Amino acid sequence: GPSMGNVEKALDSMLNDKISDSQSTATPRVGIIMGSDSDLPVMKDAAKVLNMFEVPHEVRIVSAHRTPDWMHSYALSAQERGIQVIIAGAGGAAHLPGMVAASTPLPVIGVPVRASTLDGVDSVLSILQMPRGVPVATVAINNATNAGLLAVRMLAVCDADLLARISQYQEDTKSEVLAKDEKLQK
């Protein structure tokens, strides 16, 4: 397959050193990728959710436009490396989720990042309007939390432990709202 250039390699390892503390040493089940380190403030929310559910994951900078060869090799190798779901965030002309979905059989969740003068509408339309045959599950603008939760639900289909945890999370969310209502009535 296509190999990574030296500049891309150096940039990749540099960017990944900075965020390595949010990653576990186990084989990652979820790949969180994004077009630029400027997407990190949004995309870290997906990592937070996966940390909360103790799902091993990796966080990588993969740009469709600036590092097309790296993107292609990432997408082609993800499944055989043990990745089961890919969360891809990008802003502007956000081609990353769709282009990755084109080169992997894995489910891809797209996060439209609000990154330009068009307020994220550009990102959401770029990610949402995929042609028939190449699906991307698109979440709301900047909602990497939901991307993380959707990834957990996908993994929970064949993982009883994770299913119990996601059910507990839903119970906790319900209790929180009911407690707030109760407080309001006092």
CB-nearer residue toward ligand RP5: 33 or 150: 33
Q: Could you say which residues in the range 38-97 bind ligand RP5, by CB under 6 A?
A: 38-39, 63, 90-92
Range 21-57 burial, b when 16+ CB lie within 10 A, else e: ebbeeeebbbbbbbbbeebbebbbbbbebbbebebeb
With residue 19 as reference, give the H or E element that holds it. none
CB-nearer residue toward ligand RP5: 19 or 162: 19
Type of residue found at 32: I
CB-nearer residue toward ligand RP5: 13 or 38: 38
Least separation in angstroms between residue 88's CB and ligand RP5 is: 9
**How many other β-carbons are positioned within 10 Å of the β-carbon of residue 19?**
18
Q: Could you say which residues in the range 108-127 bind ligand RP5, by CB under 6 A?
A: 113, 115
166 by Cβ neighbours in 10 Å (0-12 / 13-18 / 19+) ranks as middle
Least separation in angstroms between residue 65's CB and ligand RP5 is: 6
Residues making contact with ligand RP5 (CB under 6 A)? 34-36, 38-39, 63, 90-92, 113, 115
